[in-house]
Amino acid sequence: MSTHPVVNRTLLCAAVLAITALVPAAAFAQLQINANEDVNIKFGFQGQFWADWMQDANTTAPQGYQQNLYLRRVRFLAGGQLAKDVTFFFETDDPNVGKTPKAAGAGFIVQDAFLEWKIRNFLRLDGGLMLIPFSHQTLQSTLSYYTVDISPLATPANAATQSSVLRDLGFQFRGFLAKDKLQYRVGAFSGERDANARNSLRAAGYVQYNFWGKDLGYTLLGTALGKQKTLAVDAGFDRQGAYRGFSANMAANIPVRGGDEIGGQIQYFKYDGRTKFPTIANQNDYLVELDYYSKTLKIQPFGKFETQRFVDAAQVKNDVLRSGTGFNYYVRGQNLKLTAQWFRALPVNSPNKPSNEFVVQMQVFYF
């Protein structure tokens, strides 16, 4: 007898959650299969469940709240080594399951799928579906955000460039220099394809220098929960045809008081779709995030501020200021975390009303 696909997915997610919950804190060993010293594979899971109340900013309608209970992210991960110096990473996701308009049976998508050949530490070749190397915010791990989620300032080019959740298909060189303090990523990606696919490819690049600490992973570190002292500056670019995007960032995590942390980042974005992507308005965007983590209380209050400023006179009506505050409570570090955030949007040059959003998140993770 066949089973409905939604039931199958629900049972699978429930099984993984149950297994994750039963793993003792002292026994968080990696679930890994080793064929030999050069071949292995490991598996993991990430889930982020949201309760979200978002207020309508429309000037004519009453300011009611959309109320949603949904899975912001539900991911299955696999990674490992296929041969000496050849590794892979695969991740599938079913994002925003149950969010209005409710589509509980939308299905999983391929989130990441790429191979990496480590020629030397300073020269690695990646090929497949991966994060575009554009900014610290877009490359940051979804597990270690200082706040509840990625900023909307990181996503204006996602639709026009036909990206898949900030990912694109392509080849990328990346590597580490200066005792692993300097890293670079540069690549050619599919980008938006016209009817006959004869238009130019998309190019993107990113460089980061770590004054303190190292950041060697595929995704970049956000909060370190007092375990690592870091100070990094970076810059990136994204272009296809006439379209241009630029970014710059400074991020820091400073351990204090025997395990507490002061952390945060300042991020700048510049987008200009020009004649290539008219839907990407010319704009200058800024993001500031700050946090303080208490090791004793396992609580991390945070605050954020962001501003989106448009250059063209016809677009300045869309200028907006956003600010928010909240806290993370780390039950088991990033493996089990609770977050609450209040966020307020203030239109600058529009008749729209200020609006609020309140989010509660439960995160589980194992990899």
pLDDT of the chain, 367 residues: tens digit per residue: 444 444 444 444 444 444 444 444 434 566 889 999 999 999 999 999 999 999 988 766 677 899 999 999 999 999 999 999 999 999 999 999 999 888 777 789 999 999 999 999 999 999 999 999 999 999 999 999 999 999 999 999 999 999 999 999 999 999 999 999 999 999 999 999 999 999 999 999 999 999 999 999 999 999 999 999 999 999 999 999 999 999 999 999 999 999 999 999 999 999 999 999 999 999 999 999 999 999 999 999 999 999 999 999 999 999 999 999 999 999 999 999 999 999 999 999 888 899 999 999 999 999 9
Instruction: Please give the pLDDT value at position 341.
Output: 98
Tally the domains of the chain: 1
Q: Report the pLDDT value the prediction gives residue 68, as an integer from 0 to 100.
A: 96
3-state secondary structure of 13: helix
Nearest CA to 269 out of 288, 283, 250, 285 is that of 285
What Cα–Cα distance (Å) separates residue 167 from each residue in 9, 170, 208?
24, 10, 19
As beta bridge partners, residue 347 has: 320
Supply angle C-alpha 116, 121, 123, rounded to 5. Answer: 60
Q: In this predicted structure, what is the pLDDT of residue 106? A: 72
- Return the pLDDT at 29: 62
Residues whose CB falls within 8 Å of the CB of residue 351, separated by 6 or more in sequence, listed in order: 59
Q: What is the pLDDT of residue 63?
A: 76
CATH code (residue 70): 2.40.160.10
Sign of the Cα pseudo-torsion (263, 143, 189, 283, in order): negative
Instruction: Provide the token pair at 72.
Output: 């912001």
CA distance linking residue 349 with residue 163, whole number of Å: 30
In whole angstroms, how large is the CA radius of gyration of the chain? 21
Distances (CA, A) of 86 to 16, 54, 183, 260, 280: 28, 45, 19, 37, 38
What integer pLDDT is reported at residue 350 of this predicted model? Answer: 86
Domain that holds residue 314: 5-366
Task: Provide φ and ψ at 121, rounded to 5°.
Answer: -60, -30
> Regarding beta strands 86-93 and 167-177, do their DSSP bridges make them parallel or antiparallel, or are they unpaired?
unpaired
Residue 73 backbone dihedrals phi, psi, to 5 degrees? -145, 140
Tokens of residue 250, six digits? 């400074």
CB–CB of 166/138 below 8 Å?
A: yes
CA-nearest of 365, 366, 332, 335 to 31 is 366
Enclosing H/E stretch for 15? helix 5-22
Number of CB atoms found within 10 A of residue 366's CB = 21
